[in-house]
Chain A
Amino acid sequence: MLILESCPKVKNILLLDSEGKRVAVKYYSDDWPTNSAKEAFEKTVFTKTQKTNVRTEAEIAMFENNIVVYKFVQDLHFFVTGGDDENEVIIATVLQGFFDAVGLLLRGNVEKREALENLDLILLCLDEIIDGGIILETDANVIAGKVASHSMDSGAPLSEQTVSQALATAREHLVRSLLK
């Protein structure tokens, strides 16, 4: 179908750890129909970019006629993929939005363990950036705001909310220390 050729589209967003394993991934295109095809793509992308040192500016490469823009921090590897006729700068903007939003949501502790512990936030974050391949939002503050606003239930009074939340946190701590 010709229809979507003018609208910039993202084919996938990958968040991998330092061994190339998935933390969270989301595919929006049929280019990789099976899980093994997806894993193969992730492996190529991971191994071919592993040596690069991308701590400040996002890097870029091409794989299988796709543009892949990527950025690493600690033990997390962020990738955003688009078709080879996409505007590279737009794909990079999506990556930056994702990267910064995760940074805000994890309060600066951007590492694998923290990401897995807050996987719900990461998944919601992906959901707020791209909808079926179309860019929903690229501003990290707005994305993080949309994800985080869920913690405040407008239905419940604010004071009650914080108390119940505090209780829940306390309970969890207790359970965890008991389990050790």
Chain B
Amino acid sequence: MAQPLVKKDDDRDDEAEFSPFLGIEKGAVLQEARVFNDPQLDARRCSQVITKLLYLLNQGETFTKTEATEVFFSVTKLFQSRDIALRRMVYLMIKELSPSADEVIIVTSSLMKDMNSKTDMYRANAIRVLCRITDGTLLTQIERYLKQAIVDKNPIVASAALVSGIHLLQTNPEIVKRWSNEVQETVQSRAALVQFHALALLHQIRQSDRLAVSKLVTSLTRGTVRSPLAQCLLICFTSQVIRESNMNNQTGDRPFYDYLEGCLRHKAEMVIFEAARAITELSGVTSRELTPAITVLQLFLSSSKPVLRFAAVRTLNKVAMTHPMAITNCNIDMESLISDQNRSIATLAITTLLKTGNESSVDRLMKQITNFMSDIADEFKIVVVDAIRSLCLKFPLKYRSLMNFLSNILREEGGFDYKKAIVDSIVILIRDIPDAKESGLLHLCEFIEDCEFTYLSTQILHFLGIEGPKTSDPSKYIRYIYNRVILENATVRASAVSTLAKFGAMVDSLKPRIFVLLRRCLFDSDDEVRDRATLYLSMLGGDGAIVETDKDVKDFLFGSLNVPLVNLETSLKNYVQEPSEELFDIDSVPKEVKSQPLAAEKKAPGKKPAGLGAAPAAPTSTVDAYEKLISSIPEFSSFGKLSKSSTPVELTEAETEYAVNVVKHIFDGHVVFQYNCTNTIPEQLLENVSVIVDASDAEEFSEVSSKPLRSLPYDSPGQTFVVFEKPDGVPAVGKFSNMLKFVVKEVDPATGEAEEDGVEDEYQLEDLEVVAADYMVKLGVSNFRNAWESMGPHFERVDEYGLGPRESLAEAVSSVINLLGMQPCEGTEVVPTNSRSHTCLLSGVFMSSAKVLVRLSFGIDGPKAVAMKLSVRSEDESISDAIHDIVSSG
């Protein structure tokens, strides 16, 4: 190997603070850069000045546009020098300056000369610089040289060209794709890194062609791949091919698995790890397939290298989520990692153990974690808390030690997020493990005695108000709550007053004492606290007035708001903006849960904006827009309140002459069909557009009126309406066939004017159905369990259904949700991959008044056959039955 450059060999006795760049200044260095223009170039001096310029840039200094241009022009003069060291610095400088297009032209010829130089280093570097700064037009000029460079026998040159190709593929894909023959040739290169770069580029060129990628993988997995980096790439491509072929290949052995397994015996650690990781990430991996990968990862766990231990434990942590049993063998190695110097490794080890551990090891683990909690960062502590929560739900019998642990860490120092995670965990445990309730509530009470976070205090007080009165001795919580009234800020005081009132409402024996406390609050310095105290006193009869009925009081204190908070907020804002004599009516707030704009975009990426033709102004909140549209039409104003508008249903195929979709608006006694029509023929103008609806398959409906569309010019959507009457308050269903009827007029494309005479024409649309789900309004509940229990089992209807063979559990779940048109609660619409059973919680309002809660339990039995248990609770027997009818007929 060449000896490193013999550099200035300074005396060591300089003061320690010495830096060659001490006191460096941009202005001075820019002055110095004038040496680039000297007729007699001093290569050494020039190099030093460039280094100084690069130092400045590296420290975050920026050049103005003029400064940069000036430096650039003088640097280009340095191409005259034949000093290699200087030339290399010139290359670096040009890349750093990223010149504009007209500046690039100036250096192009010099760089092209270097690209064809005899010196390999010149060639390689000139290629990289030129490709970095070039644009598409220049690229065609140098394409020939680049192709040559790819197959150059010097590996440095070939790599430079290939890596440049990878970058250029982003900006000029059509040019780079023409090089695939040369690249293909280079994949066989004997030089390790060249093969790696060639493979990366070739795969990216062929990326969209599945067959080609599959062929590439097939041939290379049989051949020899020299560089470990290239091997890693190949493993990556292989798992991609496996992923894609999985669909067609349900039975038998997984293709290429043998190759992956073979890579586990490779001599390079990066290849072994890449293969092990690839195997653990195979979709639907079996435990037999996992075993060899887990074995090598287990070896890594006891490696002396922190990077390997980290990589292994991080991968195993992910495996633990889906296949906890597969890694129990690693538990002993994992436990020794708890005391690892590297805290990231220790935390990952602990949380993995918590996921895989069995009931007997819980106590021991908790002891170890306690020792180590104090010296890890908050974000890791949250990870640990989450792991403990899930552990507790898995082993409810162990709640005592886990609850103790949580309460201990709750008392220690910590930021808001950390404390919130702990409080949330305790709340979940209290809710799900009845035995844990009393001790958990006491821990929370102790916590609010000394809690600096108002948000957490109010959350806990609210929760205490719901759970506290149901305990065996509610009186013991009163002291904690009233202490808050004495000691806290106004927000917490108000919330404590509400909690006291809840105890008073639920526990008769406590009432007199609560009254005393509430009366004291009447003298609070804060309005809200006083108002609440007054309200509750009069409601509970503490001021001697007539006591309201028990049920009303409880409804008021414990009932949930029937409308989504967002909707209430918008309605209130509107009310405040347009003051009126009337009182605000909470029933006027729309109950439909608006999908958040962001989430909606994600769900329907391919949806054309034109599909919502009716709501051109605000595609973000369709419900609002529909409501405004409908209420603006006088004919519909007598129908009462709009209870629901469906999502648009397409009645035409994509890309036909006329695009029509329909929105179903449901009122108590009426249904309005809103047909959104778009004319996609520039040479036509449509007039008198209406839809003829045949309702002979919908007996309970009778047509009342229709509202045709006067004219429908090209590409500007319009609406026509048809109104049906239906029996009041009955979820009538039926099928409607539709025919678009209109007068068509030819339009002269040149002038845009339509001919006078038109021809009547008809256009068959697809059928439309009104289903029971159209009467269901999505309304989420914040706490399903509470809602479910307070609804009570009086009108519960349970039945089981076989859904037959389904593509996947997730598909079955989402189709039932769509069928019912209800709001999934608590994220239960998401089915974890590979799970064999799933429970889904839904809520909604049926026929605009009746609350409905649904609990769906799914299971797969046998080959893909899905069975479902449907439990419905509502306030009325007939409604519970109606929900079952939807499912059994759907």
Contact = CB atoms under 8 A, between A and B. Distances in A.
Interface of A: 1-4, 6-8, 22, 24-25, 35, 38-39, 52, 57-62, 69, 87-93, 104-107, 113, 116-121, 123-124, 127, 131-132, 134-138, 141, 144-156, 165, 168-169, 172-173, 176
Give the top 10 A-B pairs by smallest Cβ distance, nearest first: A89-B270, A35-B60, A88-B311, A151-B5, A155-B82, A92-B307, A150-B84, A150-B85, A120-B51, A6-B236
A105 B7 CA distance: 10
A80 B842 CA distance: 48
Given A59-B342, A89-B308, A121-B5, A136 B88 contact: no
Contacts of B169: 3
Contacts of B304: 57
Given A1-B170, A131-B163, A149 B121 contact: yes
Given A131-B167, A148-B3, A149-B121, 9 more contacts: A59-B307, A60-B307, A121-B7, A123-B58, A132-B167, A135-B229, A146-B121, A151-B5, A165-B6
A148 B4 contact: yes
B341 interface: yes
A132 B59 CA distance: 19
20 contacts: A3-B204, A8-B232, A22-B60, A39-B60, A52-B342, A57-B306, A87-B277, A87-B311, A89-B273, A89-B307, A89-B311, A91-B307, A107-B4, A117-B8, A120-B51, A131-B163, A150-B5, A150-B84, A150-B85, A169-B9
Contacts of B204: 3-4, 7
A87 B344 contact: no
A15 B186 CA distance: 34
A135 B193 CA distance: 9
Given A6-B240, A150-B88, A60 B128 contact: no
B843 interface: no
Contact of A168 (B44, B95, B118, B270): B44
Interface string B28-61: 0000000000000000100100110011001110
Given A24-B58, A152-B2, A153-B84, A3 B207 contact: yes
A90 B2 CA distance: 26
A90 B236 CA distance: 13
Contact of B233 (A7, A91, A124): A7
A176 B233 contact: no
B307 A88 contact: yes
A120 to B, nearest CB: 5
Nearest to A101: B4
Nearest to B310: A60
A113 B19 contact: yes
Given A132-B132, A141-B1, A38 B306 contact: no
A27 to B, nearest CB: 10
Main secondary structure of the interface of A (DSSP, over half): helix
Given A89-B308, A105-B4, A60 B342 contact: yes
B175 to A, nearest CB: 15
A147 B121 CA distance: 10
Interface in B310-345: 310-311, 314, 341-342, 344
Contact of B60 (A38, A121, A144): A38
Contacts of A8: 229, 232-233
B237 interface: yes
B885 interface: no
A90 B47 CA distance: 33
A136 B20 CA distance: 30
B193 A119 contact: no
Contacts of B6: 151, 165, 169
Interface in B193-230: 193, 196-197, 200, 203-204, 207, 229
A123 B1 contact: no
B19 A153 contact: no
A145 B1 contact: yes
B92 A116 contact: no
Contacts of B310: 60, 88
B265 to A, nearest CB: 16
A160 B576 CA distance: 89
B58 A59 contact: no
Nearest to B164: A131
B2 A145 contact: yes
Interface string B249-272: 000000000000000000001100
A119 B8 CA distance: 12
B54 A123 contact: yes
B274 interface: yes
Contact of B8 (A61, A149, A173): A173
Given A90-B232, A121-B5, A136-B193, A69 B307 contact: yes
Contacts of A173: 8
A90 B270 contact: yes
B789 interface: no
A136 B164 CA distance: 11
Interface in B166-204: 166-167, 169-170, 193, 196-197, 200, 203-204
A134 B132 CA distance: 13
Contacts of A88: 273, 307-308, 310-311, 314
A17 B273 CA distance: 32
Contacts of A22: 58-60
A152 B167 CA distance: 30
Contacts of A104: 4
B232 A153 contact: no
Nearest to A54: B306
B385 interface: no
Contact of B273 (A3, A25, A87, A141): A87
B7 A118 contact: yes
A4 B233 CA distance: 11
A124 B92 contact: yes
Nearest to B8: A172
Contacts of B82: 153, 155-156
A166 B166 CA distance: 42
A100 B273 CA distance: 23
A52 B341 contact: yes
B229 A58 contact: no
Contacts of A148: 2-5
B4 A144 contact: yes
B841 interface: no
Contacts of B95: 127
A8 to B, nearest CB: 7
B156 interface: yes
A58 B60 contact: no
Contacts of A147: 4-5
B2 A149 contact: yes
B9 A119 contact: no
Given A7-B200, A87-B270, A88-B310, A138 B229 contact: yes
A20 B167 CA distance: 32
B457 interface: no
A92 B163 CA distance: 21
A134 B166 CA distance: 9
Interface string B59-86: 1101000000000000000000011110
Contacts of A58: 305-307
B10 A176 contact: yes
A151 B85 CA distance: 6
A120 B232 contact: no
Contacts of A4: 204
A8 B229 CA distance: 9
A74 B274 CA distance: 33
Nearest to A118: B7
Of listed A117, A144, A145, residue having the most chain B CB within 10 A = A117
B166 A25 contact: no
Contact of B84 (A92, A134, A151): A151
Contacts of B274: 87, 89
Of listed A91, A135, A149, A152, residue having the most chain B CB within 10 A = A149
Interface string B774-792: 0000000000000000000
B159 interface: yes
Nearest to B314: A88
Contacts of A39: 60
